[in-house]
Amino acid sequence: MRRFFLTVSAFALATGAFAESDLATDSDLFALEFGSRLQDALRENDWWAAIDYAEVIAKNYPESPFAQETDFLIGEAFYHLGQLELANEYFSSYLNHSVAPSHFEETMRLKFSVAEAFRLGEKKPLFGSHKLPKILSAEEDALQIYDEVISALPHNEIAAKALLGKAELQSKAEDYKPSLETLDLLIRRFPKQTFAAQGFLQKSHVYLLQAQEGSSDPTLLGLADINLRKFRLAFPREEGLVQTENDLAAIQEIFAEHLMKTGRFFQKTKKIPAAKLYYIKVTAHFPKTKAATEAQERLSCLKEA
């Protein structure tokens, strides 16, 4: 019955079935009627009906108080329908066309939820159509939304979560320097909160990723060590310290193994003095690594030879 009323009323408005004087007189009543039906649809989680009613209000009653909220309500409906790209578009439209949006923080939280879903693998549909399969990556969209949240609510905890999500996507894309810069911003803005602890931990993961991918940056090990020291100083009882220590140990093992490879090569090619030099470097700079144990054994064998 509601959908019938909506269709007939919208058709009448579009075709001029009502006299002009009637429209002038009854406009507010129609707006109230559609507004009431819109609220009923929202309460009943009838999201498609809510979208229909909101679109009619926005088109035919733009001066109505309900019209100021239609973009937000349509976005909310699309969000609940799982049409996240469309939801984000309407949320952005709501913020861009409202001088003082009454749902500002709620909108930003919903946009953040959209970004999180995109970060975790939710796809976008082809050509932005809800009728087509979702196969397109939305990680770039997530990064853009994170930036909006960080800018709009810079000292809110949601901004801290957005910084963490942004840094994760950046490191996933192998944009390691921007990722570390994002985490540094997080630590500066929230120095005493657990978000900063997460930032230190995530930085150590980024350093480890760089080492695992064969980075030859000589400052990498030192930066990872400084990160651990700062983490320990700021959060001496934080559980994440253990994982950060493990990350640093793994980086040290990688660097030690690089030296060992060169030492083995020189030993294999009978350049014993050069081989010894590398083995000594390993034992001196990375004494707690497995590579150091092997280096010491090789030095002992070379001494006996």
pLDDT tens string 188-225? 999 999 999 999 999 999 999 999 998 778 799 999 99
DSSP 211: H
Final residue in a domain of this structure, among 29, 60, 81: 81
> pLDDT tens digits, residue range 91-107?
999 999 888 899 999 99
Kindly state the average pLDDT of the residues 250-274: 94
Average pLDDT over residues 37-64: 90
Work out how many domains the chain is built from and give that number.
2
Q: How confident is the model over 32-36, as a mean pLDDT? A: 83
CB 286 within 8 A of CB 256: yes
Token couple for 226:
């400084």
Q: Is residue 160 part of a domain?
A: no
Residue 147 lies in a domain: no
Give the pLDDT score at 26.
63
Is 192 within the bounds of a domain? no
Classify residue 277: in a domain, yes or no.
Answer: yes
Query: How much is the average pLDDT of 165-178?
Result: 97
Residue 22 has pLDDT above 70, yes or no: no
Q: What is the rounded average pLDDT for all residues in the chain? A: 89
Is 0.95 surpassed by the pTM of this model?
no
pLDDT of residue 70: 93
Please state, in angstroms and rounded to a whole number, the distance separating the CA atoms of residues 11 and 15. Answer: 6
Q: Determine which of 34-43, 126-135, 142-151 has the lowest per-residue pLDDT on average.
A: 126-135
The Cα–Cα gap between 226 and 245 comes to 11
For the ranges 8-17, 27-36, 61-70, the maximum mean pLDDT occurs at 61-70
Residue 12 structural domain: 1-81
Q: Which of 32, 57, 81 is the last residue of a domain?
A: 81
**What pLDDT, on the 0 to 100 scale, is given for residue 8?**
37
Q: For residue 161, give the amino acid letter.
A: K
Asked whether residue 65 is domain-assigned, the answer is yes
pLDDT at 305: 59
Domain-terminating residue out of 65, 81, 97: 81
Quote the pLDDT of residue 29: 78
- Pick the range with the lowest mean pLDDT from 25-39, 157-171, 244-258: 25-39
Whole-angstrom distance, CA of residue 105 vs CA of residue 239: 32
